[in-house]
Amino acid sequence: MFCTQCGANNADSAAVCVQCGRNLQPGTPLVPLQTTAVALPPGTTVQNYLVFAILATVFCCLPAGIPAIIYAAQVNGKLQAGDLAGAQVASNNAKMWCLISLGLGLGIVALYAMMIMLGILSGFHQH
Amino acid sequence: MVEISKNRRLVATLAAFAAGVVMLAVFDPARSGVFPPCPVRYFTGWYCPGCGSLRAIHQLLRGNLRAAWALNPLTMILLPFLTYGLASSALFEIRGQGLPQPFLRAFWIRALGAAIILFGIARNLPLYPFDLLAPGTWLHW
């Protein structure tokens, strides 16, 4: 089928356009009905949180950022295969790992601030 | 009610981000001790793919492109895209529509993840030319 937005040729099962990301299935039940498919309004796509996954990896916590990137890839992979429900699950996982990373980051900042303050306080003590 | 708390969260997030950028411009993470060290480096002694990124952005904000590149080339390459993505997310929260973004195929996202990990490994190798990727080495070369 051809994308209504950019005209790119897509596989008939594709959930989103491979070129512009436009949702190609406005509520059509190509996804099996027994799955918990989310009906996306046309023109939207499932969020993959890739930007936040990379930010988490590079600025905060490598161990939490890498799973986020892997799930981000999975979101788009499932979208390519036409599996909207699977993409939504992967999207939730990507979001979860980004939030874990954010929590770890804030925890590290708080811990560091506490250590600095204790250090300054004990420094005052010596003088 | 919901709308107000959502707006507040958005304003708080944007304010925190702006404050972070200003702090990063004012204080040098290499010397000031305002910013925490990289936890990966702190606990393992190895450079992670992001080591040097705060120092790099500090140098970038001060206009020192060479120093910024030497501290973390990966961050410098990714930064324009990350900035665009963040701006898109912010706009999406504000007006309900982000900026146009291409659909990345899963393969390319995995390749990007692999590239980040390989960069992280390479910058720990003590041989030329990989050692140039360690934070700051490029400046003394």
Instruction: Express each pLDDT in B17-68 by its tens digit.
Output: 999 999 999 998 888 878 888 888 888 889 999 999 999 999 999 999 999 9
Confidence (pLDDT) at A43: 52
| A31 pLDDT more than 70 | no
How far B128 CA lies from chain A's nearest CA (Å)?
23
Residues forming beta bridges with residue A9, ordered by sequence position: A2
Cβ contacts of B50 on chain A, cutoff 8 Å = 57-60, 62
Q: By C-alpha distance, which of A95, A3, A84 is closest to A39?
A: A84
Amino acid letter for position B55: R
In this structure, what token pair is assigned to residue A76? Answer: 């788009």
Residue type, A120: I
CA distance A69 to A67: 5
For B98, list phi and psi in degrees, rounded to 5.
-85, -165
Gap between the Cα atoms of A45 and B70, Å rounded:
37
Higher pLDDT among residues B80 and A32, named by residue: B80
Cα gap A35→A84, rounded to integer Å: 9
pLDDT(B76) > 50: yes
| Joined tokens for residue B133 | 């990727």
Q: Bigger pLDDT: A101 or A43?
A: A101
Kindly report the average pLDDT of chain A as a whole number: 79
- Which chain B residue shows the shortest CA-CA distance from A6? B102
pLDDT value of position A44: 56
DSSP state of B133: G
Question: A3-6 long-range contacts, Cβ below 8 Å, gap at least 24?
Answer: A5/A43
Cis peptide before B100 (omega within 30 of 0): no
For residue B93, what are the CA distances in angstroms to A63, A91, B88? 28, 18, 9
User: Among all chains, which residue has been given the structure tokens 């804030």?
Assistant: A106
Q: Residue A82, by phi and psi: left (phi above 0), alpha (psi -120 to 50) or beta?
A: left
CA dihedral A114, A118, A120, A125 (to 10 degrees): 170
Provide the number of CB pairs (under 8 Å) joining chain A to chain B: 82
ipTM score assigned to the predicted complex: 0.87
Rounded-to-integer distance, Cα A97 and Cα A61, Å = 10
**CA distance linking residue A83 with residue A77, whole number of Å:** 9
Q: Chain B closest CA to A65's CA: distance in Å?
A: 10
B23 contacts chain A (CB < 8 A): no
Specify whether the CB–CB gap between A58 and B50 falls below 8 A.
yes
DSSP 8-class letter at A40: P
For chain A, helix, strand, coil in percent to 5 are: 55, 5, 40
Average pLDDT over residues A27-50: 57
The tens digit of pLDDT for each residue in B88-111 reads 999 988 888 889 988 899 999 999
Among the partner-chain residues A20, A76, A109, the one whose CB lies closest to the CB of B109 is: A76
Of the pLDDT bands very low, low, confident and very high (cuts 50, 70, 90), residue B79 is very high
Chain A residues with CB under 8 Å of a chain B CB are: 16-21, 45, 48, 50-52, 54-55, 57-62, 66, 69-70, 72-74, 76-77, 79-80, 104, 108-109, 111-112, 116
Q: What share of chain B is helix, strand, coil (3-state, %, to 5)?
A: 65, 0, 35
Average of pLDDT values for A38-49?
A: 66
Contact list, B48 vs chain A (CB under 8 Å): 62
Q: For B4-16, write each residue's pLDDT tens digit.
A: 688 888 899 999 9
